Amino acid sequence: MKTPQLGLRENWRQFSLLVLINAFVGGMVGLERSILPRLAEQEFHLVARSAILSFIVVFGLTKAVANYYAGAWANKVGRKNLLVIGWLFGLPVPLLLLWAPTWGWVIAANVLLGLNQGLAWSSTVVMKIDLVGPKQRGLAMGLNESAGYLAVAATAFASGWLATEYGLRPYPFYLGIVLAVAGLLGSLLVRDTRHHVALEAAQAPAAPTGPPLSFWDVTWRHPNLGSVTQAGLVNNLNDGMVWGLLPLLLASKGFTLTQIGTVAAVYPAVWGLGQLVTGPLADCLCKKDLLFWGMLLQGAVLLAILFTDTYPVFLLLAALLGAGTALVYPTFLAAVAEYAPLAQRAHSVGIFRFWRDAGYAIGALLTGLLADAFGLGTALAAIGGLTVLSALVIKRRMYCLPDLTTNPNKAMTCPSTGTNRQQYFARLWPLASIVRLTY
């Protein structure tokens, strides 16, 4: 067998295959983004917002639990085996949605979709972190999450267009069958990355020993990990609201399914493309800065939606919401990988992803109840306010690691490129200079 090496260039074939597979993973969830809330109203005659959002609740809870155990299972059964198992759960999903005679079938499909997303996406995340080593984690996560959410955008738009042209069923879900089969076949070609983990452990400098991180350390007690975890939960809380309520809000304003699908696609498209920029930035900037500004932008956009009625402005706000999410999403995972000890990386990522995706369930429950009791506007205002509060928690609790604050020479070198940071930022993204000046 070929001797393992760490780095993106050294493992580009395996890395590229994992990026493609994660695009298939994202495509599976994108199928539901623009049409499932309308399906609930039109074919299953659900009226209560909380009932309509029940599919997101079960999806979020199942994915959260799968994420938590994926970290431990990745070390026991192997990363590749976990990826294949995730796709075996995903295979029946489009068929259940295609044939569903009752809303209960949709709920069952979303239980399986949550298992698919939790196991398969977690596997690709951990395997990419294993392959690239410590210097390119942000770049790796940017590429991984970009592929996943660009696929979410593409399938959200495609399913919305197919539903407009041919009806809500069956044609949009034929696309899901193709994605599930392709994802499973691609996963069979992946090689496990346990040898790369052993290599990184052998090359890592001796670190101070201390008690292992507990579930509650990652959840809240550790200032950095706890701040990242709460932000991840709130991020997916507001994403769950956008997923479930935005199509209904747009429909109430008279927009067509194609227009709804376009707005639903712009948000994850900018989210996905933006991570090609923000992923490398997470290797160069203090992660606190990216997380603070990203959550603050999300909250501001959600509050601005309250005062929006026109289609072009909805498109603009969807793009800005995607930009805010792009700032935080690769940074979340790069931060957990950086702050957690190597031996606990997979488990810590699992705990973080447990809480992050529990945000889907919490968000769907909270916004559904608020929307039923007080209207869509109140739900939007509450979630927007919580997102701003999350940004303030990051500002208060997080700190930059010593090598970015006490060693200016090291801080000025971008690990991903070896170039001067200021030149890199000026060339890559003008707004990066603003973020850098926050300290």
**Distance set, CA 270 to CA 35, 114, 244, 274, 432 (Å):** 20, 24, 19, 6, 17
Cβ atoms of residues 232 and 356 within 8 Å = yes
Question: How do the pLDDT tens digits run along the chain, 439 residues long?
Answer: 577 888 888 899 999 999 999 999 999 999 888 788 888 988 998 877 888 888 899 999 999 999 888 877 887 888 899 999 999 999 999 999 999 999 999 999 999 999 999 999 889 988 998 898 877 778 888 888 889 989 988 998 999 899 989 988 999 999 999 999 999 999 999 999 888 888 877 776 655 555 678 899 999 999 999 999 999 999 999 998 988 888 889 988 999 888 988 998 899 889 889 988 888 888 888 999 999 999 999 999 999 999 999 999 999 999 999 999 999 988 998 899 888 887 787 788 889 989 998 998 898 889 989 999 999 999 999 999 999 999 999 999 999 877 544 444 344 345 444 444 444 444 444 333 333 333 3
- What is the SS3 assignment for 337? helix
| Separation CA 106–CA 42 (nearest Å) | 14
Question: Which contiguous run of DSSP H or E holds residue 20?
Answer: helix 12-30
| Separation CA 90–CA 120 (nearest Å) | 9
Query: How buried is 181 (Cβ within 10 angstroms: 0-12 exposed, 13-18 middle, 19+ buried)?
Result: middle
**Distance set, CA 120 to CA 24, 63, 84, 143, 405 (Å):** 10, 10, 7, 16, 36
| Separation CA 291–CA 302 (nearest Å) | 17
**Distance set, CA 213 to CA 225, 232, 314, 348, 392 (Å):** 10, 18, 43, 8, 25
- What is the SS3 assignment for 413? strand
Tokens 């299972």 map to which residue?
73
Please name the fold of domain 12-196+214-436: Growth Hormone; Chain: A; (1.20.1250)
The reported pLDDT for the residue numbered 349 is: 82
| Separation CA 258–CA 256 (nearest Å) | 5
Token pair in block for residue 99? 């044939």
| Separation CA 79–CA 69 (nearest Å) | 12
Cis peptide before 101 (omega within 30 of 0): no
**Helical axes 137-166 vs 122-132, angle rounded to 10°:** 150
The reported pLDDT for the residue numbered 106 is: 94
Nearest Cα neighbor of 26 from 108, 123, 147 is 147
Chain-centre distance for alpha carbon 43: 30
The reported pLDDT for the residue numbered 283 is: 83
| Separation CA 84–CA 87 (nearest Å) | 5
Task: Write the Ramachandran bin of 78: left for phi over 0, alpha for psi from -120 to 50, otherwise beta.
Answer: left
Tokens 């290797």 map to which residue?
283
Strand partners, 413: 420
Cβ atoms of residues 257 and 399 within 8 Å = no
Chain-centre distance for alpha carbon 432: 22
| Separation CA 245–CA 334 (nearest Å) | 30
Cβ atoms of residues 148 and 376 within 8 Å = no
- What is the SS3 assignment for 420? strand
| Separation CA 132–CA 9 (nearest Å) | 8
How many CB atoms lie under 10 A from the CB of residue 117?
A: 29
Chain-centre distance for alpha carbon 361: 15
Nearest Cα neighbor of 77 from 119, 26, 109, 115 is 119
Give φ, ψ of 324 to 5 degrees: -65, -40
Nearest Cα neighbor of 120 from 156, 146, 144, 98 is 144
Output DSSP code: residue 438. Answer: T
Strand partners, 420: 413
Question: pTM to 2 decimals?
Answer: 0.79
The letter for the amino acid at 278 is T
**Distance set, CA 260 to CA 38, 56, 99, 179, 238 (Å):** 10, 18, 24, 23, 18
